[in-house]
Each structure stands twice: as structure tokens, then as C-alpha cells.
Amino acid sequence: MHDHCSERMSSSETRAASGLALVFAFRMLGMFMVLPVLATYGMDLAGATPALIGLAIGAYGLTQAFFQIPFGIISDRIGRRPVIYLGLILFALGSVLAAQSNTIWGVIAGRVLQGAGAISAAVIALLSDFTREQHRTKAMAIIGITIGLSFSAAMVIGPLLTRVSGLRGLFLTAGGMALLGIMIVAFIVPRSTSTLAHRESSLVRRALLPILKHPALLCLDLGICVLHAILMCSFVALPLALIEKAGLPKEQHWWVYLTALLISLFVMIPFINYSEKKRKIKRVFLSAIVTLMLIELFFWRFGDSLWTLVIGTIVFFTAFNLLEALLPSLVSKVSPAGSKGTAIGVYATSQFLGSALGGVMGGWISQHGGLSVVFLGSAGLAAFWLAFAVIMHEPPYVISIRLPLSPEAICEAGLVERLETVAGIVDAFVVAEEAAIYIKLDTELLDRATLEQLVNQSPVVRLA
């Protein structure tokens, strides 16, 4: 048996994973620190209305969605680093523009420019260039955990920072974080010698149309779109509800978010373990959507005291964080072999579109119907999502693996057909120009070492 699966990540792999995770963290902090404070502090800006506050909250999503896939494709052509530098510079410029603005329109323009620095696809591709096959899942997990933690940190740091330095200080800090990201990519992330064509993390244009036609993936894309619409919609109303209905000064909101996030992170872990170990993802997934819908109705009907809003916020974040963790895992399970990178690209675009939609929708409802109706609108979004999610099948419990192929194996005529008869192999796809095969594998039925022997077992040896 091969023992390289148990090898540790090399120092350059660890440096690349931790450095790029920090780049993600700084950018996420800069993007989301605004979320809990814009509805409250933003009303002091010239020309501010609830509808325009909603637009400012969601505006980054429009440009992020628009540039996400093109920036990924460009990074394959001209290299990852130039695209990452450009994206971080755009983000910093947008932050400075928003910081210098005294009007709501200036902040909206700054948020639009922040979103134009859509670097996630290039960062993930750069990470793939550095990490060996057997460590890529681990490296991606480091990034995933960092994104989750930085979102949680942003919800607490945003109100604390704005309390001290106002919105101007908040946006300048976000710009500073983007510049720190540039320094990390320049000086900490090692230089890569080659750009790896890797279909698990890069976008492949030929795979785009099949992914856009894939019914199960479309349901998940719709799901992340609605989830982020509900998040943005809720944060048009929740900070204001804490002030107007619960009488909590905006300087003290940080402890509500800190309490809610810490409790929710502990509560969701057993659910994630149960969904994977017992193979009950669909049950947990649907329960979380129902919980999200019910908590929005709870906010609408009972969100008029501090303790109901705090309890509601804890339950909201538990359901939100659970769905935020389950959805990418489902995309990775459902996407065809060799198309995961493309599927994640479309999924990320859907997420940013949802952010834009939710901000605009929340602001518009708040202006025309009042705060509590925003929660009703969010509950309606969750009900709409539930109607689609109910028809979802239980996903295959598989992981994606890319293996190099020997010249003999590439030439073998019926390799894919042979492998797909093996118990545990759900899907296989050969890419001759990469001299590699992409496989969806159920690790309970087949381990990686046996799979490697099966893949590169030549027809001659088998006949002998």
C-alpha cells in the first residue's frame, strides 16, 4: 500500500495554504464588517433611505457575481498572482472611495468597486498549483474554516470598530486589509513554478453548459442564492430592530452577534457530524431550511423585545451556518467527475447574486412596508427554497479524486467502463491532455490505495 496519503503537508504547502487562507480572511472581513453596521450608522449619510442602505449592503454582490468567472479564466491565461494583485487593489480603492464619501451614493460606488475585485477563483487555483493531490482537500478545508471564522469575526469586529472610528474608519481598515493581502501573496506565499490545469479547482469553459443544465446543481445554486438573499435581507432589518424595538444602543450590538455566533458554532457541529456519518444530509438540510423560515416568522411576529431578538439571532445563525457548511459539500458530491471547479464557480456566482438581490429586496421592503415585513419577506424566500429542496434526492456520499495516469492507462480503450463496474466508483472521467483521471469515490467501499492500483493496472497484467 502507498503511504503517501499519511504524509504531512510540506512546508511550502503549509505556507501556501495558510497565506492564501489569510488573504481570504482579510477580504471577507473587509466585505462583511459592514453588514451589521450599515443599516444603523448608514442613515447618517447624505441622501440615505432604507432602500439605498439595502443597495449599499448588497451592491458588492453584483460586481462580484459579474467578474467571478471571467477573473478565474483570465488567471489561467496570465497567471494567478497578477489577477489576485489586481483584485486586491480594486478592493482597496473601493474601500478608500467608500471611506471618503459623505453620501450614500459614494458608499454604494465604493461597495461596487470592492466587489469588482473578485479573486476567489484565482486564489483557489493558486492553492491547487501548490498542493499535491492527497493534501488538496485538507488545504481547501483550511480555507473553508477560515472563511467561516472570518465571517463570524466580521459580525463582531464591525460594530466594535465602527463604535470607535465610524464608518470611515471601518472602510479604511478594510482597505488596509486588502493591502496586507497583497504583502502576504508577495512575501509569504511561495513562488509556483507551474500553473496546473486542474478541473477540480479551475473553471473549464467546455464544462460550463453541462453544469448550467444539471438539475441537482441548479437546485443547490438556487439554494445558496436564496440563503445569501435571506442573510442580506435580515441584516437590513435586524440591527434596526435591536435599536427601535429592543432599545439596545448600536454601540452594544457586538455582544448579541458574538453570543449568537459562538453558541451557533457549537450547536451546528453535532448536526454536521450526524449528516455525514449517518448519511442523512437531506434530513438535516431540509430541517435547517424549515428552521430558517420559522425563525424569520418568529422575528416578524415576536421580534419586539431584546431577549426574543437575541434568541432568534442565535437560532438564525445556527441554521445559516449549518446550510453554509452543507451546500458546498453537496455541490462537491453532486458535480460530475472533472467538473467540480466549474460547478463551484457557478455556485459562487449564484451566492453573490443572492447577496445583491437580498440587499435590494430588504431595503425596498423596509422603505415601503416597515421593518417587520422584511422578516416576512425573508420567510417567503425560505418557503420558496423549501419547495425546491424537498424534491432533492439524497446525495451520493463520495469524494472527488484526481489521479495521474501512466501512458499505458491513457491508451487503454475501456478504462472508464472498467472502473465504473467497481463497487465504490460512482463516476470517472479521463483528461488525456492532463494525463489524469477524475474519479468520484465512496471511501466506505473502496480506499484510495486500492483505487490507484486499479487505475494503473495495465490490461496486459490483467490478462496474464
Q: How many CB atoms lie under 10 A from the CB of residue 182?
A: 19
Are 329 and 451 found together in one domain? no
Residue 144 belongs to domain spanning? 11-199
> Residues for the chain: how many in total?
464
CATH number of the domain bearing residue 379: 1.20.1250.20
| Inside any domain, residue 406 | yes
| Inside any domain, residue 25 | yes
| Domain final residue, candidates 157, 178, 199 | 199
Are 369 and 407 found together in one domain? no
101-131, pLDDT tens digit by residue? 999 999 999 999 999 998 988 888 888 888 8
In which band, very low, low, confident or very high, does the pLDDT at 298 lie, cut at 50, 70 and 90?
very high
Are 309 and 415 found together in one domain? no
| DSSP secondary structure, 422-446, as one string | STTEEEEEEEGGGTEEEEEE-TTT-
| Inside any domain, residue 63 | yes
Are 238 and 90 found together in one domain? no
| Inside any domain, residue 1 | no
3-state helix, strand, coil in the chain (%, to 5): 75, 5, 20
| Inside any domain, residue 4 | no
- Check residue 401 and give its pLDDT: 82
- Check residue 459 and give its pLDDT: 53
Are 215 and 351 found together in one domain? yes
Please state, in angstroms and rounded to a whole number, the distance separating the CA atoms of residues 42 and 51: 12
- Check residue 458 and give its pLDDT: 53
Does residue 463 register a pLDDT over 60? no
CB crowding 100-136: b at 16 or more within 10 Å, else e: ebeebebbbbbbbbbbbbbbbbbbbbbbbbbbebebb
244-258, pLDDT tens digit by residue? 999 999 999 999 999
| Domain final residue, candidates 356, 380, 397 | 397
Select the highest-mean-pLDDT range: 66-80, 423-437, 447-461.
Answer: 66-80
| Inside any domain, residue 141 | yes
- Residues 70-90: what's their mean pLDDT? 91
Nearest alpha carbon to residue 30 among 141, 104, 115, 107: 115
Instruction: Tell whether the torsion through CA atoms of 265, 157, 327 and 137 is positive or negative.
Output: negative
Are the CB atoms for 400 and 440 separated by under 8 Å? Answer: yes
pTM here?
Answer: 0.90
3-state secondary structure of 370: coil
416-453, pLDDT tens digit by residue? 888 888 888 888 888 877 788 888 888 788 877 788 77
Please state, in angstroms and rounded to a whole number, the distance separating the CA atoms of residues 41 and 239: 10
Are 255 and 311 found together in one domain? yes
Please state, in angstroms and rounded to a whole number, the distance separating the CA atoms of residues 363 and 440: 43
Select the highest-mean-pLDDT range: 199-203, 235-239, 273-277, 334-338.
Answer: 235-239
Q: Give the list of residues 6+ apart from residue 12 with CB closer than 8 angstroms, or none.
A: 130, 190
Q: Give the list of residues 6+ apart from residue 418 with CB closer than 8 angstroms, or none.
A: 412
Does residue 13 register a pLDDT over 80? yes
Are 393 and 403 found together in one domain? no
Are the CB atoms for 11 and 136 separated by under 8 Å? Answer: no
Instruction: Tell whether the torsion through CA atoms of 57, 63, 64 and 65 is positive or negative.
Output: positive
Are 254 and 156 found together in one domain? no
Are 55 and 142 found together in one domain? yes
78 exposure class (CB count in 10 Å sphere: 0-12, 13-18, 19+): exposed
- Which residue shows C-alpha cell 441548479? 218
In which band, very low, low, confident or very high, does the pLDDT at 378 lie, cut at 50, 70 and 90?
very high
Are 357 and 414 found together in one domain? no
| Domain final residue, candidates 180, 199, 218 | 199
CATH number of the domain bearing residue 453: 3.30.70.100
| Alpha helices (runs of H) in 33-132, residue ranges in sequence order | 38-41, 50-78, 80-100, 104-116, 120-130
C-alpha cell belonging to residue 125? 487555483
| Inside any domain, residue 117 | yes
Are 252 and 194 found together in one domain? no
133-166, pLDDT tens digit by residue? 677 777 888 888 888 889 989 999 999 999 999 9
The total domain count for the chain is 3
Amino acid at residue number 331: V
Are 166 and 278 found together in one domain? no
| Inside any domain, residue 312 | yes
- Check residue 84 and give its pLDDT: 95
Does residue 62 register a pLDDT over 80? yes
Does residue 457 register a pLDDT over 80? no
- Check residue 425 and give its pLDDT: 85
- Check residue 406 and give its pLDDT: 80
